A = this chain, B = another copy of it.
Amino acid sequence: MSPPQPSRVDPKIWRACAGAAVQIPKLHSRVYYFPQGHMEHASPSHYLSPLIRSLPFVPCHVSSLDFLADPFSDEVFAKFLLTPLSQSQQQPFQNDNKEARNDDDDEDRENNGVVSFAKILTPSDANNGGGFSVPRFCADSCFPPLDFRADPPVQLLSVADIHGVEWRFRHIYRGTPRRHLFTTGWSKFVNHKKLVAGDTVVFVKDSDGSVSVGIRRAARFAAAIETPPPAEREGFSRSTTGRVTAEAVAAAAESAARNAPFEVVYYPRTGFADFVVSAEVVEESMKCAWVGGMRVKISMETEDSSRMTWYQGTVSSACASENGPWRMLQVNWDEPEVLQNAKQVSPWQVELVSPPFALHTVFSPNKRLRADQGSGLLSNREQDPFFPMPGFSNSAMGHMTGFPNSTVGQMDKPLLSYESFPAGMQGARHDLYSPLSFSNFLNDNSYLYMGSGSFGNNPVQSLGTVTTELNMSSSQSDDLSPHSQSSFHSFGTEFTGTRNCDTKVGPGSILLFGKIIQPAESDLHDADCMERDGSRGSNKLKTVEACYFSK
């Protein structure tokens, strides 16, 4: 039946199933491992042993990396073999960039031609004996075109799950008004995979036209369907914890403390931060002098996973206590209800929106850009009140530390309209990150002073803004769904990306979620063209890659 061993998964498919928000460092790249972040995947109580407390971060080399899928739940996960790096092995900053650029080439090749679409199952989708409402865009972009001369148009789709097992779905276009549906075969799939409303299915079309389906389980049922491992896995755990045990984390930390290679398993989960992060990304973010009052934004997947949305907030505290940089930023989000799990974030998760004194700019939370607000599409750059003002962005970094009192007051305080800083910001010390200190790891110059002066030392091409290629699917095209009510469908990664802390922004700088991207004006109708070259597709990943290389 289904394989008892985790399946090895094509990285293209894996990335589509994990979601675009997941950034997996490259094999043989340099990373930071955060034991605390690891523990968050294991223990909801976040209990930190003294050992883990003494290891706020561990510089490592990714010695092996497997993209795997759970044989029971179909969920994807990654297995890293991390080798702690001694100081002598730590590469200079520039080398990283070179590596990263190569990796980008790799990644582009990996994702070339892959189109994916994720849908959260509705109760109707998950009903026993029911069918599946295929979103029009999913059908148009991921499935072979129907013959709309037939009445009704219908085809038998063969779709491979993450293990390569084929499932057959009857894909029909019917009803009034017409819509795409899966009928025969769908219920069998739902039952066999034990899908419930709230779970997500991800359809992936590879460059050869073959279609795969992945699954992301909803985390809502936590400890409900718990089963004792390892035997008898008729059911599987829906818990967000449990796959990663506190013991495994302790073992990893213990090895890390001995500078011995260790294995970590990472299950992508919305709401959980990556705990193995590209060294460049971390170091980049740590060059910034994080202080309270800064306006930051964080990118999140939209509910349907097809786009990214920015949410904004204000840093209330940049106090790291003894935890190192992990979740050192406390942020009051403008919409706290949608960011329950992100009250404390790590610097590399967010981007600075504007220097503190830019808070004077008129800001209405209601005007926060959402990609699904189509009106913002054509002129995001002009409409974005947080678009960087070049002179400010550099001067904001001319300060020494992210720690309060001694530095915050001098320039920022007078400019801030906030009356008070949280008490937690008081009393942080400069020797916080021992024994493994970021200031040891980076050269002091780049760590402490990243003003405009550092820009000239950076050999990497400056690329302040990257233009996103926007693909529009035309409903008038015969090979797509006819009778579309709206002529345009926007998709891809749409947001305003700015990098205020550092002017060094280039192809190698995958920051946050790798999207330092700004949509430009575009209304091309190139469905025919896409059809010809076989990519057709316009999924988010492809869009991102095309962006880098069309530049």
Contacts and interface: CB of A to CB of B under 8 A. Distances in A.
A398 interface: no
11 contacts: A1-B227, A1-B232, A1-B234, A1-B235, A4-B227, A4-B228, A4-B231, A71-B232, A72-B232, A232-B233, A234-B234
Given A1-B232, A4-B231, A232-B233, 8 more contacts: A1-B227, A1-B235, A2-B232, A4-B228, A4-B232, A71-B232, A230-B231, A234-B234
Dominant secondary structure of chain A at its interface with chain B: loop
Interface string A117-148: 00000000000000000000000000000000
Interface string A174-200: 000000000000000000000000000
Interface string A220-233: 00000001101111
A234 B234 CA distance: 6
Contacts of A71: 232
A242 to B, nearest CB: 15
Interface string A1-27: 110100000000000000000000000
A153 to B, nearest CB: 36
Interface centre among A71, A227, A234, A235 (most CB of B within 10 A): A234
Interface residues of A, number: 13
Contacts of A72: 232
A302 to B, nearest CB: 36
A231 B231 contact: yes
Contacts of A227: 1, 4
Of all A-B residue pairs in the complex, the 8 with the closest CB atoms, nearest first, are A4-B232, A4-B231, A230-B231, A4-B228, A232-B233, A234-B234, A1-B234, A231-B233
Nearest to A230: B231
Contacts of A4: 227-228, 231-232
Interface centre among A4, A231, A235 (most CB of B within 10 A): A231
Contacts of A1: 227, 232, 234-235
A233 B230 CA distance: 10
Nearest to A232: B4
Interface string A47-88: 000000000000000000000000110000000000000000
A232 B2 CA distance: 8
Contacts of A228: 4
A350 to B, nearest CB: 40
Contacts of A235: 1
Interface in A203-233: 227-228, 230-233
Interface centre among A2, A230, A232, A233 (most CB of B within 10 A): A232
Interface string A93-117: 0000000000000000000000000
Interface string A25-47: 00000000000000000000000
A71 B233 CA distance: 13
A71 B235 CA distance: 15
Interface in A229-277: 230-235
A178 to B, nearest CB: 39
Contacts of A233: 231-232
A149 to B, nearest CB: 42
A259 B1 CA distance: 43
A4 B230 CA distance: 9
A228 B3 CA distance: 9
A227 to B, nearest CB: 8
Nearest to A225: B1
A238 to B, nearest CB: 14
A511 to B, nearest CB: 40
Nearest to A72: B232
Contacts of A232: 1-2, 4, 71-72, 233
A235 B1 CA distance: 8
A381 to B, nearest CB: 53
Contacts of A2: 232
A234 B2 CA distance: 10
A2 B234 CA distance: 10
A4 B235 CA distance: 12
Interface string A403-416: 00000000000000
A477 to B, nearest CB: 46
A90 B129 CA distance: 68
A227 B2 CA distance: 10
A129 B166 CA distance: 29
A228 B233 CA distance: 13
Contacts of A230: 230-231
A45 B85 CA distance: 52
A1 B227 CA distance: 8
Nearest to A228: B4
A232 B70 CA distance: 12
A229 to B, nearest CB: 8
